[in-house]
Amino acid sequence: MSKQLLSNLSAELQTALLNNVRDALAEDISTGDLTAQLIPATQIAHATLISRENAVICGLPWLEACIDQIDPTVSIQWHIAEGETVEPNQAICELQGNARSILTAERAALNFVQLLSATATQTRLYVDAIKTTKARILDTRKTLPGLRLAQKYAVTIGGGLNQRLGLYDGILIKENHIAAAGSIEAVLNAADEVRKTSDTNITVQIEVENLHQLKTALDAGAKLILLDNFDIPALAEAVKLNAGKAILEASGGINLDNVLAIAQTGVDRISIGAITKHVKAIDLSLRFKEITL
């Protein structure tokens, strides 16, 4: 079986993917697939994977890796590419090989594709909704435990952008950090010291909750500011007050009904936790077409 899909990913994502697949298969199979033992060991099957609904398909490298870990002799014929849109009953791929192997890998493989496709699909809806504006859709750290890199990858497949991956590669100053440090000025000064002693390329973003805090942050030199739960008039006023001095990001209470109006205020970025934490899995189905002994 070709491992081309896996090789197209970054080294970091390849490692995360293989860990994802290892853990998923161990969780599902443990000491063995009892039900698969009902099938003759030499039986060969031809199966087709289809989508039951409209979706942006994502996660094909995870499916490929699940199959490969169980049985590398099972062949996969892809009918679509990663990131393509499918309609109900459209074929995603066909599998040919040992029936036991396909059945054992099926659940873990489909779990990855249905989840990652859901994230990619939701992201694409938001991206398309604001395509007439300059704003971009970003993710958050509100991901499923153990699947952060996978879901953030799915966001990019849907046309969105990634925020920091974790606590280690960027600074996001929130209200509790400000309170603990004593003030916006003090916490921004502390962040600057952290950058100097670790990596001057890391981003420093500060969250503000009103226009007064925004002005204070701008006066203190903030260059990346998150506007937390601002209503649309307040966002428009924030853009005016900012006058291009900092990158402004809207977050909180954003949905498909209001995202365009938010983007039209002139903010640069819109971060949405729902694209990774409020997703509904895409309905997929794997059906055997031919079975031979």
What residues are labeled active site? 107, 142, 174, 207, 228
Which ranges constitute the DSSP H helices of the chain? Answer: 4-7, 11-29, 60-70, 99-129, 148-157, 175-181, 184-197, 211-219, 232-242, 259-263, 274-277
Binding-site entries: 107, 140-142, 164, 174, 207, 228, 251-253, 272-274
DSSP track, 165-225:
SSTTSEEEE-HHHHHHHSSHHHHHHHHHHHHHHS-TTSEEEEEESSHHHHHHHHHTT-SEE
CA distance 229 to 208: 9
Helix (H, G, I), strand (E, B) or coil at 267: coil
Residues in the chain: 293
CA distance 157 to 167: 23
Binding-site entries for substrate: 107, 140-142, 164, 174, 207, 228, 251-253, 272-274
Helix (H, G, I), strand (E, B) or coil at 275: helix
CA distance 70 to 104: 8
